């Protein structure tokens, strides 16, 4: 039986959300070309599109918003924020950016030259995009277990360290300006990376003289999984685990919209002063003066406070259990879910739900559309709509192995009753799956088509 532990907070401020009728939602869905990105958020009841920037801030953070120092240079809020990053992550040099991709843009513009290769366990879309934009080549080296939705490996985000080393030897260190690992591995299902694996990854990069950067969006959730699952970490504080991990790296990039519990913000944190000097110059050109980056003073204040709230043990126990509760409840209801559940999201296995719909007719999108139509729930398709690509010579479509629907969970936003409602609707979709129909695309762009595509249901 799935269990839900009580929240370590109570509700001080509420935001109304409204449920519409199924007929209304059918009309909105048709207007949106059956693509949930095209909906107005007001027409969504439970929004599980992303966990990024959608969390609820605490009273302490809102109080910090009022105390934000909006000075252009040397604001007090910057020093609060810098102190928090130094204390939790141990990096001396801290550069705020408007969000994670701002940090990617600044770092890669300085470090990546055309034709160079940047390995990772799995790059997130924007990381990949920012490397490609510099003419670089992002490569993924996650362990094979990551590709099997039924494999319950406890650290499915781990790097295949042997494959990484072989790749470095084959590619040549002169072609690898930096190496990365992403914690947790978002594109691989929010799966954690073990401390041992991060240590081995750092050791390989450093043996070849390659600077090592961590994509740290969900580092606190990752540290909590380490504490729960990895031998020798049970008695360590989350802050201690975080310090140990970051001590292995030369720097990190962070979208603070995840584990720093803010609605906007990010940063780059570095060990090397010379690199920081170059970053500061680039930052001034692209984001803002180095003590505010792309942010207001109030955002820096909220981020400083959020970083500490994000590593609080009681919060993380609630957070990870909240996600697990949704996954376990779905399994109990007979809805197939990728195992084990990650930190920030639950992934429905649409191949098992809508196996009768061929990849060319977007089975995971059919499940997304049904969740919205039947219950006002918005998830995101991670399947043939997002990942299918054409063979460069034959033009034939190549479809991904997995057809998933990501239900990402905003932090501190939805209650147990909301999650139970999601389970009820997902079960209804599952029980009536024979009625699900495929879609054909009526409009698409050449790149990132899933954001703006329009579809039409295939009748019959
Ligand atoms: N790296 C990872 C691992 C991410 O998950 C994200 C964002 C970014 C970098 C970019 O950060 O959005 O602040 O610019 N992930 C969001 C998501 C958008 O829905 O998974 P950003």
Kindly state whether residue 182 falls inside one of the protein's structural domains.
yes
Residues 159 and 243 in one domain: yes
Over residues 35-52, the mean pLDDT reads: 97
Quote the domain boundaries for residue 411. Answer: 22-51+313-457
Residues with CB under 6 A from ligand 1: 50, 52, 99-101, 124, 126-127, 182, 186, 215, 217, 255, 257, 266
Please give the DSSP secondary-structure letter assigned to residue 394.
T
In the predicted structure, residue 448 carries a pLDDT above the cut 90:
no
CATH number, position 395:
3.90.1150.10
Kindly state whether residue 100 falls inside one of the protein's structural domains.
yes
Rounded to two decimals, what is the model's pTM? 0.96
Q: How confident is the model at residue 146 (pLDDT cuts 50, 70, 90)?
A: very high
Kindly state whether residue 326 falls inside one of the protein's structural domains.
yes
Kindly state whether residue 406 falls inside one of the protein's structural domains.
yes
Longest dimension (CA), the chain: 65
Pick the last residue of a domain from 310, 328, 356: 310
Could you tell me the distance, in angstroms and rounded to a whole number, from the CA of residue 128 to the centre of ligand 1? 11
Residues 212 and 348 in one domain: no
Q: Which ranges of 230-268 would DSSP assign to H, the alpha helix? A: 238-246
Cis peptide before 340 (omega within 30 of 0): yes
Pick the last residue of a domain from 310, 335, 362: 310
Contact, 273 vs 107, CB < 8 A?
Answer: no
Q: How confident is the model at residue 219 (pLDDT cuts 50, 70, 90)?
A: very high
Can you tell me the distance from the alpha carbon of 82 to that of 70, in angstroms, rounded to the nearest whole number? 16
Q: Which positions ≥6 away from 79 have C-beta within 8 Å?
A: none
- So what's the pLDDT on residue 187? 86
Summarize pLDDT for 78-99 with one digit per residue, the tens. Answer: 999 999 999 999 999 999 999 9
Name the residue at shortest CA distance from atom 21 of ligand 1. 100
Can you tell me the distance from the alpha carbon of 293 to that of 369, in angstroms, rounded to the nearest whole number? 39
Kindly state whether residue 222 falls inside one of the protein's structural domains.
yes
Rounded to 5 degrees, what are φ and ψ at 106? Answer: -65, -50
Could you tell me the distance, in angstroms and rounded to a whole number, from the CA of residue 52 to the centre of ligand 1? 7
The Cβ of residue 403 has, within 10 Å, a number of other Cβ atoms equal to 29
Over residues 124-147, the mean pLDDT reads: 93
Can you tell me the distance from the alpha carbon of 269 to that of 271, in angstroms, rounded to the nearest whole number? 7
Could you tell me the distance, in angstroms and rounded to a whole number, from the CA of residue 406 to the centre of ligand 1? 14
Contact, 418 vs 410, CB < 8 A?
Answer: no
Cα→Cα distances 308→74, 81, 263, 312, 409, Å: 22, 10, 16, 7, 20
Residues 295 and 164 in one domain: yes
Could you tell me the distance, in angstroms and rounded to a whole number, from the CA of residue 125 to the centre of ligand 1? 8
Q: Which positions ≥6 away from 26 have C-beta within 8 Å?
A: 373
Can you tell me the distance from the alpha carbon of 451 to that of 36, in angstroms, rounded to the nearest whole number? 9
Q: How confident is the model at residue 391 (pLDDT cuts 50, 70, 90)?
A: confident
Residues 329 and 427 in one domain: yes
Kindly state whether residue 204 falls inside one of the protein's structural domains.
yes
In the predicted structure, residue 392 carries a pLDDT above the cut 90:
no
Could you tell me the distance, in angstroms and rounded to a whole number, from the CA of residue 191 to the centre of ligand 1? 14
Q: How confident is the model at residue 387 (pLDDT cuts 50, 70, 90)?
A: confident
Residues 156 and 68 in one domain: yes
Residues 287 and 376 in one domain: no
Could you tell me the distance, in angstroms and rounded to a whole number, from the CA of residue 200 to the centre of ligand 1? 25
Residues 40 and 182 in one domain: no
- So what's the pLDDT on residue 386? 87
- So what's the pLDDT on residue 293? 96
CATH number, position 139:
3.40.640.10
Residues 28 and 109 in one domain: no
Name the residue at shortest CA distance from atom 16 of ligand 1. 52
Residues 292 and 434 in one domain: no
Residues 152 and 202 in one domain: yes
Tell me the percentage of the chain whose pLDDT exceeds 90: 92
Work out the angle at residue 192's Cα, subtended by the Cα atoms of residues 421 and 319, and round it to the nearest 5 degrees. 35
Q: End-to-end CA distance of the chain, in Å? A: 39
Kindly state whether residue 6 falls inside one of the protein's structural domains.
no
Mutate to test the pocket of ligand 1, among 105, 118, 124 (most ligand atoms within 8 A of CB): 124
In the predicted structure, residue 460 carries a pLDDT above the cut 80:
no
Mutate to test the pocket of ligand 1, among 36, 140, 257 (most ligand atoms within 8 A of CB): 257
Summarize pLDDT for 182-195 with one digit per residue, the tens. Answer: 999 998 889 999 99
Residues 418 and 378 in one domain: yes
Beta strands 397-398 and 389-390 are: antiparallel
Residues 63 and 107 in one domain: yes
In the predicted structure, residue 13 carries a pLDDT above the cut 90:
yes
Task: Report the number of distinct structural domains present in the chain.
Answer: 2
Q: Which positions ≥6 away from 44 have C-beta within 8 Å?
A: 36, 372, 376, 377, 378
Backbone angle region of 209, left / alpha / beta, with phi > 0 → left and psi within -120 to 50 → alpha? left
- So what's the pLDDT on residue 108? 97
Name the residue at shortest CA distance from atom 11 of ligand 1. 100
Can you tell me the distance from the alpha carbon of 335 to that of 331, in angstroms, rounded to the nearest whole number? 5
Kindly state whether residue 192 falls inside one of the protein's structural domains.
yes
Pick the last residue of a domain from 264, 289, 310: 310
Could you tell me the distance, in angstroms and rounded to a whole number, from the CA of residue 127 to the centre of ligand 1? 8
């Amino acid at each position: 039986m799935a269990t839900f532990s009580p929240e370590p907070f109570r509700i001080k401020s509420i935001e109304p959300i409204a449920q519409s009728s199924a007929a209304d939602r059918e009309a909105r869905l048709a207007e949106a070309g059956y693509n949930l990105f095209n909906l107005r958020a007001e027409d969504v009841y439970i929004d599980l599109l992303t966990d990024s920037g959608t969390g609820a801030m605490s009273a302490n953070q809102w109080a910090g918003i009022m105390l934000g120092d909006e000075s252009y240079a040397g604001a007090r809020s910057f020093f609060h924020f810098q102190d928090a990053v130094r204390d939790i992550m141990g990096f001396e040099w801290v550069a705020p950016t408007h969000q994670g991709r701002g940090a990617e843009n600044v770092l890669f513009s300085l470090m990546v030259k055309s034709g160079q290769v940047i390995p990772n366990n799995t790059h997130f879309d924007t990381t990949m995009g920012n490397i490609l934009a510099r003419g670089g080549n992002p490569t993924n080296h996650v362990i094979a277990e990551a590709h099997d939705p039924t494999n319950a490996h406890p650290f499915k985000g781990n790097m295949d360290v042997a494959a990484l080393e072989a790749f470095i030897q084959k590619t040549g260190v002169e072609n690898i300006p930096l190496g990365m690992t992403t914690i947790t591995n978002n594109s691989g299902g929010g799966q954690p990376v073990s401390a041992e694996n991060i240590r081995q990854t750092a050791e390989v990069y450093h043996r070849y003289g390659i600077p090592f950067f961590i994509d740290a969006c969900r580092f606190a959730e990752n540290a909590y999984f380490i504490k729960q699952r990895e031998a020798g970490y049970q008695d360590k504080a989350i802050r201690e685990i975080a310090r140990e991990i970051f001590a292995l790296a030369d720097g990190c990039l962070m979208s603070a919209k995840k584990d720093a519990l803010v609605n906007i913000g990010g940063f780059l944190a570095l060990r090397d002063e010379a690199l920081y000097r170059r970053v500061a110059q680039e930052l001034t050109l692209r984001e803002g003066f180095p003590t505010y980056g792309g942010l207001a003073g109030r955002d820096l204040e909220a981020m400083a406070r959020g970083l500490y709230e994000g590593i609080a043990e009681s919060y993380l126990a609630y957070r990870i259990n909240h996600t697990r509760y949704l996954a376990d409840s779905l399994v109990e209801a007979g809805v197939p879910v990728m195992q084990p559940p990650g930190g920030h999201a639950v992934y429905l296995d649409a191949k098992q739900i809508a196996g009768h719909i061929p990849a060319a007719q977007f089975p995971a999108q059919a499940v997304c559309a049904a969740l919205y139509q039947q219950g006002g729930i918005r998830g995101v398709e991670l399947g043939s709509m997002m990942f299918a690509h054409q063979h460069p010579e034959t033009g034939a479509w190549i479809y991904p192995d997995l057809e998933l629907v990501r239900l990402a969970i905003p932090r501190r936003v939805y209650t147990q009753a909301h999650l139970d409602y999601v389970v009820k609707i997902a079960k209804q979709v599952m029980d009536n799956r024979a009625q699900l129909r495929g879609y054909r695309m009526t409009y698409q762009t050449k790149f990132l088509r899933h954001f703006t595509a329009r579809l039409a249901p295939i009748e019959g």
